[in-house]
Structure 1
Amino acid sequence: MGRPSALTVTASPSTAQVPGLERGSYWITTFGCQMNKADSERMAGILESMGYREATAELDADLVLYNTCTIRDNAEQKVYSYLGRQARRKRINPHLKLVVAGCVAQQEGESLLRRVPELDLVMGPQHANRLETLLQQVESGQQVVATEEQHILEDITTARRDSSICGWVNVIYGCNERCTYCVVPSVRGKEQSRLPDAIRLEMEGLAAQGYREITLLGQNIDAYGRDLPGITAEGRRKNTLSDLLYHVHDVEGIERIRFATSHPRYFTRRLIDACADLPKLCEHFHIPFQSGDNDVLQAMARGYTIERYRKIIDHIRKRMPEASLSADVIVAFPGETDAQFRRTLQLIEEICFDLVNTAAYSPRPNTPAANWENQLPEDVKVARLQEINALVERCAKERNARYAGQVEEVLAEGINPKDPTQLMGRTRTNRLTFFTAVGADGRNYQPGDLVQVRINAVRSFSLSGTPVHG
């Protein structure tokens, strides 16, 4: 799902408290991918429906929840550092409630309680919608571990969204793939698709609240519908991601639709054609390739070849020449030779991606590759990561150069925190763009506006410009 990052959930201006119910304050810190961020928004909504209010600072909160990521070791270790600080607080204030949710919680389970006995609740990602029930058990004096496999109920909770303009909508949970480096299937469970009408209903609700852009979200979103019944007269599955896009495209009020994250094994021409045919689908594709060498891909158990990946890119550029392309890649996978690494560099240079999220291989618990003897030394990992990052930045700048002087539609998402006279948002191709809040005609633009912006400055990973009339 992209490069792990630490994201702190903050309050939405539209958040409403439950009258007459006050349980104290809460703080949620989210580590990791968009799926974790969406889970955190749902859990924040649950806490506020229970009568919690958002704390002004982490160390002042009465309930602290860490929604964790185990994709990379550094993200996991950061969680333990944060927990140590909160454990010291709890020894002074035993009324503090301390919760670990997400992938580290699922991976470690009861062993987390042995490592941090001050914890009140350990809960895996499949239990996010059960937070209220689990906290009721904590309030009755129990120390709770919830990591058993769970059928995820429809999103009946009201998420407290981090944005009032762009929203996440989960369409499929879990992952059935068995990539040899990845811990996700063991911590997020089997694939479980939501029903198309439930997804559309959630989008209609967001549109009614004024949301302009929706990102459909899944760990392996191209697998959407594999577990749903139905075959068409042509003999294909009735509920595919392409079908879902047609089903939700005409939701009134939603101006843009994106989806993530894709898997090359299941990415189809029909999906590309749907994106080209449906005006609200943004011209941006995030398709991880992980390595530019077929033997490494086979060792990773990715299930496709570089030739297959190139055909996907070729068809995208044939149907949507201006589309932006982003990807994920892992360097220094066990046994990766210098020649194999060079093939990855060659693929990046030939395709010239708009953005590539890079990571050096990190052994993860309960994955086959972690036990292999052909692990590469840290100095090789560092050197390869530095080299690939330099190439990625150069390619990104080359791709961004095409925007210079062009007028691009930008959805204003908020105020530039470094310059309050500017708004910030994204083009349809997902390029971060800064622009003056006041146009040449004197019009004041606000977050939520779709703005035509003439690009006058190009950087590797962002653009700047000025609104133009009309």
Structure 2
Amino acid sequence: MNATTTKASAPAAAPQRQQQRGSYWITTFGCQMNKADSERMAGILEGMGFKPASDEHRADLVLYNTCTIRDNAEQKVYSYLGRQAQRKRANPHLTLVVAGCVAQQEGASLLRRVPELDLVMGPQHANRLDVLLTQVENGQQVVATGEHHILEDITTARRDSQVCAWVNVIYGCNERCTYCVVPSVRGAEQSRLPQAIRLEMEGLAARGFKEITLLGQNIDAYGRDLPGITPEGRRQHTLTDLLHQVHDVEGIERIRFATSHPRYFTERLIDACAELPKLCEHFHIPFQSGDDAVLKAMARGYTVERYRRILERIRHRMPDAAISADVIVAFPGETDVQFRRTLTLIEEIGFDQVNTAAYSPRPGTPAADWPDQLSEAVKVERLQELNALVERTARERSARYLGRIEQVLVEGSNPRDPSQRMGRTRTNRLTFFPASGPAKHPGGVGGRPSQPGDLVNVRIEQVRAFSLTGMPIS
């Protein structure tokens, strides 16, 4: 898993600053939920008077928002911490914080391993960062990993993008997949009220944001912890209902959602996505394995046939829809025949993108203690073969864009070539094009160079496995 860094960008809605406290640096490991948590914590820090640092090793406060899904991500955290602990021994005024899933999993044992730490806090405590840091400033070494109700807080996030924003709709996860540590570190499901979600989206629209991604560890479970039954006898609050309730927020041009679980992905949800114009034709639906016996061992709660039917329904309603997924290879006991079924499923479906991983035993999960663990050599071999297929399939899917005109939402400039803009199609393909096209193809909107937030029609002239290049047209 790659680490991302919270840097200075568009400021948040200005909170009341208490005092100048120095500079901060946040490094984020893992999933979109962690990235959203980091944006909220950055906003809290700026509200307290901290300012973004230009260098991790010069910051007065360093925060690592951690991921424990895979062992390599966890070990990377300890590597980063070792460098900062050495720094703190020379500079006792440095504040060192570990947040996120590793913090929740390890708790006080992190302090024994890295005694230089000032604060260890689980994901449910992200909105309490200011309170916890006040305790640190009063001389305490703090561990906050207890069960905690996540408070509504829609004003403090400092967004890394000026165009696209995450909006959490449900926290936690009630699933019990045998390989996954998420439920134990992120807690039980907690759905936000639709009114609060819509209010946050209206605030983002007022600040110029154009695209919203609704987030949940298992977003299809949204609302099942909220009270209410419709006259037809179904739950009053579902993801489908939420999409209808927030779709007409003025100023928001595109809406996405992630991450979905095949067990709860309904035809009603698919129909809503086909009928609501702002819903993008892009679905991230992990399948994890192409073999039913492996899925049963994983406790995923669906079959390969059930997964196929979902995708058939999506492509029936939205033929051009992009499908991305997650898959795990070398799960305990997985045979070569079962692995080949995963490869077959990928070829049959033709995914636009697949996030791949070799199984990594996580402490406290059932599968970690099973005796039929596969060797590292098998994991590496299968992952390499899988990745080669995924890239080939993605390239074949990209070929359909050649010569087409795609609507691209401009997110910014290409960091490798400032003369180019970059953005994404509705199907989530990263696309590059000149900020100002040639005279016969004036770039941007109304003939001016395109700017972040513009919707630009781009004729695709070059396709790659995971990105496109084209020319803006009037």
Query: TM-score, normalised to structure 2's length?
Result: 0.97
**Mean CA deviation greater in 56-65 or 14-23:** 14-23
Paired residue for 1:445? 450
Distance 1:296 1:145, change over 3 A: same
Aligned mate of 1:11, from 3, 8, 19? 8
The answer on whether the counterparts of 2:17 and 2:46 sit within 8 Å (CA) in structure 1 is no
Where does residue 104 of structure 1 map in the other structure?
Answer: 102
1:208-247 equivalent positions in 2, closer than 5 A: 208-247=206-245
CA contact (8 A) 1:178 1:185 kept: yes
Q: CA separation in 2, counterparts of 1:180 and 1:403?
A: 39
Equivalent residue runs for 1:348-427 within 5 Å: 348-427=346-425
CA RMSD in angstroms, aligned pairs only: 0.9
User: Could you say which residue in structure 2 is the equivalent of 1:206?
Assistant: 204
SS at 2:262 equivalent: coil
Q: 1:148 aligns with which of 143, 146, 149?
A: 146
User: Partner letter of residue 48 of structure 1?
Assistant: E
Letter in 2 for 1:312: I
1:324 aligns with 2:310: no
User: 1:150: how far off?
Assistant: 0.5
Aligned match of 2:469 in 458, 464, 467? Answer: 464
Query: What is the identity, as a one-letter code, of the residue corresponding to 1:458?
Result: V
Q: What per-residue deviation string (whole Å, max 9, x for no partner) do you get for residues 178-224 of structure 1?
A: 00000000000000000000000000000000000000000000000
CA displacement at 1:11 relative to structure 2? 1.6
Report the alpha carbon displacement of residue 443 of structure 1 after superposing the two structures with TM: 3.0
**Paired residue for 1:29, among 27, 30, 36?**
27
Question: Per the alignment, in what secondary structure is the counterpart of residue 428 of structure 1?
Answer: coil
Aligned mates of 1:207, 1:156 — CA distance in 2: 13
**Who is 1:314 aligned against?**
312
Deviant stretches of 4+, over 4 Å: 15-20
Which residue identity is paired with 1:239? H
Give, as a single letter, the amino acid of the residue that structure 2 aligns with 1:460.
Answer: A
SS in 2 for 1:265: helix
Instruction: Report the secondary structure of 2:342's partner residue.
Output: helix
| 8 Å Cα contact 1:213/1:254 also seen in 2 | yes
SS across alignment from 2:220: helix
Distance 1:218 1:200 in 2: 16
Where does structure 2 lack aligned partners over 5 or more consecutive residues? none
Report the secondary structure of 1:364's partner residue.
Answer: coil
Q: Which residue of 2 aligns with 1:284?
A: 282
CA contact (8 A) 1:129 1:157 kept: no
Following the alignment from structure 1 to structure 2, what is the Cα–Cα distance between the partners of residues 279 and 402?
22
- For 1:323-353, what per-residue CA distance to the aligned partner results, in whole angstroms no more than 9, with x for missing partners? 0000000000000000000000000000010
1:448 positional shift: 1.0
User: Residue 454 of structure 1: SS of its match in structure 2?
Assistant: strand
CA distance in 2 between counterparts of 1:14 and 1:409 reads: 28
2:83 to 82, 85, 93: 85
Secondary structure of 2:159's counterpart equals: coil
- Paired amino acid for 1:367: T
Q: Distance in 1 between matches of 2:141 and 2:412?
A: 40
1:101–1:122 contact (8 Å) kept in structure 2: yes
1:19 to partner: Cα distance: 5.3
Counterpart Cα distance in 2 of 1:155 and 1:232:
29
TM-aligned CA distance change 1:76 to 1:20, over 3 Å: closer
CA distance in 2, matches of 1:366, 1:401: 44
Comparing 358-367 with 15-24, greater Cα deviation is found at 15-24
Could you report, residue by residue, the CA deviation over 1:147-192 in whole angstroms, capped at 9, with x for unpaired residues?
0010111124410000010000000000000000000000000000
Give, as a single letter, the amino acid of the residue that structure 1 aligns with 2:226: L
Q: Structure 2: how far apart are the matches of 1:5 and 1:289?
A: 22
What is the letter of the counterpart of residue 131 of structure 2? T
CA displacement at 1:17 relative to structure 2: 7.4
Supply the AA of the counterpart residue of 1:370: A
1:32-51 correspondence runs (5 A): 32-51=30-49
The answer on whether the counterparts of 1:168 and 1:214 sit within 8 Å (CA) in structure 2 is yes
**Unpaired runs of 5+ in structure 1?**
none
Give the match for residue 344 of structure 1.
Answer: 342
Q: Would you say how many aligned residue pairs link Structure 1 and Structure 2?
A: 466
Q: Deviations over 1:235-294 (max 9, x none)?
A: 111100000000000000000000000000000000000000000000000000000000
Q: Please give the TM-score of this superposition, normalised by the length of structure 1.
A: 0.98
* Equivalent-residue separation in structure 2 for 1:88 and 1:361 (angstroms): 33
Report if aligned partners of 1:6, 1:32 keep a CA contact under 8 Å in 2.
yes
Q: Match of 1:7, SS?
A: strand
Counterpart CA distance in 1 for 2:400 and 2:371 is 45
C-alpha distance in 1 between matches for 2:29 and 2:3: 4
Alpha-carbon distance in structure 1 between the residues aligned to 2:284 and 2:367? 25
Q: Residues 19 and 67 (structure 1 numbering): CA distance in 2 closer, same or farther, change over 3 Å?
A: closer
Match of 1:263 in 2: 261
- SS for the counterpart of 1:421 is strand
Partner of 1:186: 184
C-alpha distance in structure 2 between counterparts of 1:157 and 1:89, whole Å: 33
Determine the C-alpha separation between the residues in 1 that align with 2:10 and 2:175: 39
* Cα separation, 2, equivalents of 1:443 and 1:89: 49
Residue 241 of structure 1 aligns to which amino acid in structure 2? L
Deviations 1:83-119 (A, max 9, x none): 0000011111111100000000000000000000000
Secondary structure, aligned partner of 2:296: helix
Summarize deviations over 1:48-83 as a string: whole Å, max 9, x none.
Answer: 000000111000000000000000111100000000
